[in-house]
Amino acid sequence: MAPRTVPVEVFDLVIFGGTGDLARRKILPALFKRFCAGQMPGESRLIGASRSDLSREAYLEIVRIALKEAGVVRGGPALEGFLDRIDYVPLDAEGDTGWQALGDKMVPGRVRAFYFSVGPNLFANLAANLKAHGLADEQARIVVEKPFGHDLETARTLNAVLTAHFDECQIYRIDHYLGKETVQNLMAVRFGNMLFEPLWNAQYIDHIQITVAETVGVGGRAAYYENAGAMRDMMQNHMMQLLCLIAMEPPAKFDPDAVRDEKLKVIRALDPVEPHHIVRGQYTAADGVPGYREDVDNERSKTESFIALKCHVSNWRWAGTPFYLRTGKRLKTRSSEITVVFKDAPHSIFGPDAGRHNNELTIQLQPNEGITLDVTIKEPGPGGMRLIDVPLDMSFAEALGPGADAPDAYERLILDVIRGNQTLFMRNDEVEAAWAWTDPIIRGWESRGDVPKPYDAFTTGPDGAVQMMRRDRREWRGIHP
Ligand code: NAP
């Protein structure tokens, strides 16, 4: 089943930070793939803009290498066609250099998107300079990368600065988790089927688990990560967004504000988290890789590379149903999944030997996107009624065939920006509400002087996370690829 491509208008896309890691690894390959799919129509152009004083040719060489390293280059003519659309402007986000040249390259009246793929300290400067140099017209929109603030106060300040220069409807706060095919499928499964929604509440659901496990350490982002930790880097944004999509009420329609209104209600309904429902960890050296403290060059670091917590959404639908969230670096394998664990059947007609069984719906986001429903059936063969759980498996790659090469998150989200569709982007009040929930949790452990518990690299994290579940007579699902 080949993906359907929906036409977009001719556009100009400026990538501030066009020489940076994110641009090279994600943005440029995503745009190349959309170009190959015919979604950079007419005279649409891409303009890289960074501090480096590069010629256009030198920048094209950076793009060539980036596409090759990303493994997306399919052949000569497509690559050359794509490169023809690319230009470069040396520019200083903090000063006046390059802005006039950038303005001269923009085509009036055309959709113009400005991707802020630079450090967050430059977001405010970019917004102000776009306005000051007359580039923030009605067709302009800005894409703002994470992190969006360090806490509530800084997020509010950033929102105030951005909205001083752009309308909220022109601001796209990107969370690439929301661009994943399966995340949207989560909404399709919930709201497109009669089967699940009647059961989607505290009466039938025992608990929900969300795991985002990475095998990588902090890599080249040590300075940023040491100042952020897993709570700020993953929990406040990606995990929170997944929780919202699982827990929200059905929006009246699939439009940006209807969806975001419902997500906001979930965040606002989150209870504060008790200290004994939080487990923080820090990886130590194993299998030849250094530990966290060596990675960040701080032998006294108290920053967590792992966090697990239990939280409650205090509303009619979810009263009494815990949500267990965990995320960490240098874990056993790379895997992100959401599991909805349904309650046991109220009475077993098969007697104690049949064991207890319940249904689990698992939505896997990476590495392989797909949905599995565990159902209970009779174990085949003679010898009485023994029950086993088997998965009804819908791996998208298998179910939808080889043509179902779904666009990756950045491809989808960038085109949504061009189309002016904000459904999968965070609104200002959502981001602030998420920080309002996060801040007291962080302040709590800072004031107690809590130190993260060590865990060996490439395991499932600190024991405390397992104990937290056991106290509730529950188990984490294994971290599987
Ligand atoms: P990076 O590799 O350090 O690149 C930074 C870019 O900003 C470079 O192109 C640099 O240009 C440019 N730049 C720096 N100062 C500038 C200035 N004064 N004026 C104009 N350009 C300037 O950073 P990155 O990893 O790509 O990250 C970019 C943003 O994406 C950050 O906000 C980061 O938090 C976010 N993000 C990154 C990732 C990731 O995987 N990398 C993931 C999620 C979010 P020169 O090279 O010419 O100096």
Our CA angle for 296, 302, 305, nearest 5°, is 65
Query: Known catalytic residue: 238?
Result: yes
pLDDT confidence of residue 157: 97
Q: Which residue has the tokens 């994470």?
A: 146
Q: What pLDDT, on the 0 to 100 scale, is given for residue 392? A: 85
Tell how strand 322-328 and strand 205-213 pair up. Answer: parallel
**pLDDT tens digits along 202-218:** 999 999 999 999 999 99
Whole-number Å distance, alpha carbon 116 to ligand 1 midpoint, is: 8
- Which pLDDT does position 12 carry in this prediction? 97
- Count the Cβ atoms, other than its own, within 10 Å of residue 346: 5
Taking 90 as the threshold, does the pLDDT of residue 156 lie above it?
yes
User: What is the average pLDDT across 269-283?
Assistant: 98
Q: Convert the pLDDT of each residue in 62-118 to its tens digit.
A: 999 999 999 998 668 899 999 999 999 999 999 999 999 999 999 999 999 999 999
Tell me what the mean pLDDT of segment 417-425 comes to.
96
The whole-number pLDDT of residue 151 equals 98
Atom of ligand 1 nearest to the CA of 50: 21
Query: What backbone phi and psi angles, to 5 degrees, belong to 93?
Result: -60, -30
pLDDT value at position 402? 53
Ligand 1 lined by 444 (C-beta under 6 Å): no
- What contacts 203, CB < 8 A, 6 or more positions away? none
Report the share of the chain in percent with pLDDT over 90. 81
pTM score, two decimals?
Answer: 0.94
Residue 366: predicted pLDDT? 86
pLDDT at position 2 over 60: no
Mean pLDDT across 421-437: 97
Give 40's contacts (C-beta < 8 A, 6+ positions apart).
Answer: 11, 31, 34, 46, 82, 85
Does position 1 have pLDDT exceeding 60, yes or no?
A: no
Is 19 close to ligand 1, i.e. is its CB under 6 Å away?
A: yes
Confidence band of 480 (pLDDT split at 50, 70, 90):
confident
Please give the pLDDT value at position 74.
65
pLDDT of residue 356: 74
Helix axes 76-84, 28-36, angle to 10 degrees: 110
Confidence tier at 405 by pLDDT (50, 70, 90) = low
pLDDT, average across residues 151-171: 97
Beta-sheet strand order (sheet of 45-50)? 86-90, 45-50, 11-16, 111-116, 140-144, 171-173
Whether the predicted pLDDT of 404 surpasses 70: no
Span 169-194, average pLDDT: 91
User: What's the pLDDT score for residue 387?
Assistant: 86
Residue 345 scores a pLDDT above 90 = no
Residue 137 reports pLDDT greater than 90: yes
Is the minimum distance from the CB of 312 to ligand 1 under 6 angstroms? no
Structure tokens at 318: 């979810």
The confidence score (pLDDT) of residue 354 equals: 78
More confident of the two residues 326 and 368 = 326
Q: Give 304 Cα–ligand 1 centroid separation in angstroms.
A: 24
* Ligand 1 mean position, distance from CA 267 (Å): 30
Instruction: Answer yes or no: is pLDDT of 406 > 90.
Output: no
Catalytic residue (choose from 165, 176, 207, 238): 238
pLDDT of residue 235: 97
Q: Determine if ligand 1 sits within 6 Å of the CB of residue 234.
A: no
Kindly tell me if the per-residue pLDDT of 412 is higher than 60.
yes
Ligand 1 close to Cβ of residue 150 (< 6 A): no
Average pLDDT over residues 267-274: 98
Question: To the nearest whole number, what is the mean pLDDT of the chain?
Answer: 93
Residues 430-451, mean pLDDT to the nearest whole number? 98
Residue 385 contacts residue 376 (beta carbons within 8 Å): no
pLDDT at 447: 97
For the chain, give the secondary structure using H, E and C.
CCCCCCCCCCEEEEEECCCCHHHHHHHHHHHHHHHHCCCCCCCCEEEEEECCCCCHHHHHHHHHHHHHHHCCCCCHHHHHHHHHCEEEEECCCCCCCCHHHHHHHCCCCCEEEEEECCCHHHHHHHHHHHHHCCCCCCCEEEEECCCCCCCHHHHHHHHHHHHHHCCHHHEEECCHHHHCHHHHHHHHHHHHCCCCHHHCCCCCEEEEEEEEECCCCCHHHHHHHHHHHHHHHHHHHHHHHHHHHHHCCCCCCCCHHHHHHHHHHHHHHECCCCHHHEEEEEEECECCECCHHHHCCCCCCCCCCEEEEEEEECCCCCCCCEEEEEEECCECCCEEEEEEEECCCCCCCCCHHHCCCCCEEEEEEECCCEEEEEEEEECCCCCCCCEEEEEEEEEHHHHHCCCCCCCCHHHHHHHHHHHCCCCCCECHHHHHHHHHHHHHHHHHHHHHCCCCEEEECCECCCHHHHHHHHHCCCCCCCCCC
- Output the CA angle 78-80-84, nearest 5 degrees: 115
Indicate whether 269 pLDDT > 90.
yes
Q: Which of 70-74, 324-328, 428-432 has the lowest mean pLDDT?
A: 70-74
User: How far is Cα 400 from Cα 402, in angstroms, rounded to an integer?
Assistant: 7
